[in-house]
């Protein structure tokens, strides 16, 4: 791999780690966790998806435990959010925006890494999606929230869109590194549009509708 490509992947990985760590730390602050809880949720959100992917493709020990960089990024993000959380939370949808960045980056990088390990393309894409959504799922479970990916909100679908770009480049014999940033941007754009325009996947027509009060509470907790 070209040194420039290696630097790009490393930079994207660090940005994605920080973005997911911030999203986890902000949820912890909202849930009024102590400093240890904030740091734990920050780290767990940042690395869980990648750990699952690495274990499944046989890349052991997982990248999160090969050095101290991911831990240090998560700690910095957690400390910043612990002290500046009230200011950050007042911003418009900060958790979703940081989460959208991490989602796109880890879905794309996860797919590429799985392909490099010789995983069949469709399953490599599946691992990419798992890499992207894994941290957010565990974050929401530990914070006692309904996981975003299991709701009608467009979340995993955005990750799948970015993964399809990577798989298309692989099938056409293109350099995957050339589509990394566009693929991440596509995921981020779809997620942000879904947040601000209320885009959602259809639910079963016979499903009970949530009460207005419950919807209001959930909406406020995400802001």
Alpha helices, DSSP H only, in the chain?
A: 3-30, 35-57, 69-89, 94-116, 121-142, 156-172, 180-197, 212-221
Instruction: Return the SS3 of 204.
Output: coil
Determine the Cα–Cα distance for residues 86 and 216; give it in Å rounded to an integer: 20
Residue whose pair of structure tokens reads 């293109």 in the numeric block = 174
Determine the Cα–Cα distance for residues 128 and 187; give it in Å rounded to an integer: 13
Determine the Cα–Cα distance for residues 204 and 191; give it in Å rounded to an integer: 22
- Count each helix (H run) and each strand (E run) in the chain, helices first: 8, 0
| pLDDT on residue 91 | 61
Determine the Cα–Cα distance for residues 19 and 42; give it in Å rounded to an integer: 10
Instruction: Return the SS3 of 151.
Output: coil
| pLDDT on residue 126 | 96
| pLDDT on residue 18 | 93
8 A C-beta contact, residue 42 and residue 21: yes
| pLDDT on residue 151 | 75
**Per-residue tens of pLDDT for the chain, all 223 residues:** 444 456 777 888 899 899 999 989 999 998 999 999 999 999 999 999 999 999 999 999 998 999 899 999 999 999 999 998 777 766 656 677 888 889 999 999 999 999 999 999 999 999 999 999 999 899 999 999 888 888 767 888 999 999 999 999 999 999 888 899 999 999 999 998 988 888 888 877 776 765 544 433 344 334 3
Residue whose pair of structure tokens reads 């869109």 in the numeric block = 161
- DSSP code of residue 171: H
pTM: 0.82
């Amino acid at each position: 791999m070209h040194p420039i490509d290696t630097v790009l992947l490393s930079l994207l990985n660090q940005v994605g780690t920080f973005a997911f760590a911030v999203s986890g730390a902000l949820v912890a602050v909202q849930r009024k966790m102590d400093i240890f809880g904030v740091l734990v949720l920050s780290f767990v959100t940042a690395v869980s998806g990648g750990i699952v992917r690495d274990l499944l493709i046989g890349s052991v020990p997982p990248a999160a435990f090969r050095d101290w960089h991911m831990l240090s990024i998560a700690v910095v993000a957690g400390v910043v959010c612990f002290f500046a959380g009230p200011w950050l939370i007042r911003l418009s949808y900060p958790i979703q925006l940081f989460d959208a960045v991490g989602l796109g980056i880890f879905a794309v990088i996860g797919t590429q890494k799985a392909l490099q390990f010789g995983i069949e393309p469709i399953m490599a894409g599946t691992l990419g999606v798992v890499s992207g959504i894994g941290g957010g799922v565990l974050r929401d479970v530990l914070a006692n929230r309904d996981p975003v990916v299991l709701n009608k909100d467009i979340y995993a679908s955005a990750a799948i869109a970015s993964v399809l770009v990577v798989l298309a480049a692989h099938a056409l014999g293109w350099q995957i590194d050339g589509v990394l940033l566009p693929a991440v941007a596509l995921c981020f754009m779809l997620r942000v549009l879904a947040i601000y325009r209320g885009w959602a996947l259809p639910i079963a027509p016979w499903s009970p509708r949530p009460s207005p009060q419950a919807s209001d509470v959930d909406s406020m907790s995400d802001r």
